Structure 1
Amino acid sequence: MSWRSPLPRRAAIAGLAALALAGCDLTPAYGPGGTGTALQGKVALRDPDSIDSFALNRRLSERLGPEQAALYSLDYRLTIAAVSQAITPSEVATRYSLNGTADFALTDNATGAPIVQGRVSSFTSYSATGTTIATTTAERDAHERLMVMLADQIVTRLLATGPRPG
């Protein structure tokens, strides 16, 4: 069998893909019955104890919504390390990599049972070639970016494996 026009072939492939997805029982995260609905405004975050945890909480609140009626608690532990990346012949670091890991656990407040737990990690970097103020600002920005990346990964994991509305 030969296809003369690429349009019918594309339509057939799209139709087969739609049929395959229709049978796999996927639910949109923020649709009816999705985990996004179950978590929106229902997650209590632990109190921040550092600038990094404050930034992580801010991003988690943006993604999960402000706590209204907490059914779940999210606890986490951050590990952040700065590693020299570019070193001049006179042994001065001009660029740093900021590596971060967040171990997290979502627990049911009623039962105390863990629902989802895991570890996410990411990295970013910043330049240390400018003035002291420029380097400090670049480092702060790198920490902020890293916390956004870690928070987004945590939320993605919660949406993929978290509780469904009952």
Structure 2
Amino acid sequence: MSSFNRRLFLFGCVAGLSACGFAPAYGPSGRANALQNTVRVDGPADRNDYLLTRALEDRLGRSSSPRYALSYAIETETESIAIAKNNATTRFNILGEVTFALRDLETAQVVSSGKVDSFTGYSASGTTVATQTAERDAQQRLMAILADQIMARLIAAAPGLPA
């Protein structure tokens, strides 16, 4: 009678992945290290810019001598998605889209660029203060989601590393 050994199976999977060149993105030799503390993110002009910049700097770090510059443009749109019988909107979606470009500061060439998009929702069925707080929280969540998507794209095309 044979029994399934989960530890042996998992060890075999990990060994197989490392043999094919797999390395964790944030590990010691991961692709994210090529960007860590080397990117200057454009300064914010409004609240959404600030939230996105803060989220990106949390992931990239802040560099005193950057090698790359990350510029971006944010577009958001709010749409009503639930309307009550009295014609009052009770739920909103915030749609967001960010176009970004990572430039090498020495050569001024664009190393990576792209566009990411997502959405979040919030309820408007409470008090005015609760609705405003929910909207601000939804904006913050949206910028964090978009920052994660930008990071995934940048890590996939990390400069100086083979794809």
Higher-Rg structure is 1
Structure 1: which amino acid aligns with 2:52?
A: L
Alignment partner, residue 81 of structure 2: 85
Matches within 5 A, 1:99-114: 99-114=95-110
Alignment match, 2:2: 4
- Output the CA distance in 2 between the equivalents of 1:22 and 1:33: 12
Residue number among 144, 156, 159 corresponding to 1:160 in the alignment: 156
Indicate the residue corresponding to 1:29 in structure 2.
25
CA–CA separation in structure 1 for the residues paired with 2:152 and 2:129: 35
Which has the higher mean CA deviation after the structures are superposed, 156-165 or 146-155? Answer: 156-165
Identity of aligned residues (%): 41
1:18-60: CA deviations, max 9, x gaps? 3431332123323344332221111111121110010100111
> What is the correspondence of 1:34-49 to structure 2 with a 5 Å cutoff?
34-49=30-45
Contact 1:42 1:70 (8 Å CA) reproduced: yes
Asked whether the 8 Å contact 1:33–1:164 carries over to 2, the reply is: no
1:55-96 CA-to-partner distances (Å, cap 9, x unmatched) read 100111111011221100001111111110110122211000
Contact 1:101 1:120 (C-alpha < 8 Å) held by counterparts = yes
Structure 2's unaligned 5+ residue stretches are: none
Give RMSD over aligned pairs.
1.8
2:124 to 128, 142, 157: 128
The one-letter amino acid of 1:89's match is K
d(CA) in 2 for partners of 1:110 and 1:162? 16
Equivalent AA in structure 1 for residue 94 of structure 2 = L
- 2:50 alignment partner, SS class: helix
Moved over 6 A (4+): none
What does 1:34-73 align with in structure 2 at a 5 Å threshold? 34-73=30-69
CA–CA separation in structure 1 for the residues paired with 2:21 and 2:110: 25
Higher relative contact order (CA 8 A, sep 6+): 1
Say yes or no: does 1:138 pair with 2:129.
no
Give, in angstroms, the shift of residue 101 of structure 1: 1.0
**TM-score (ref. length: structure 1):** 0.87
TM-score (norm. length: structure 2):
0.89
**Secondary structure in structure 2 of the residue aligned to 1:6:** coil
CA distance in 2, matches of 1:12, 1:50: 52
Unpaired runs of at least 5, structure 1: none
| Aligned residues between the structures | 161
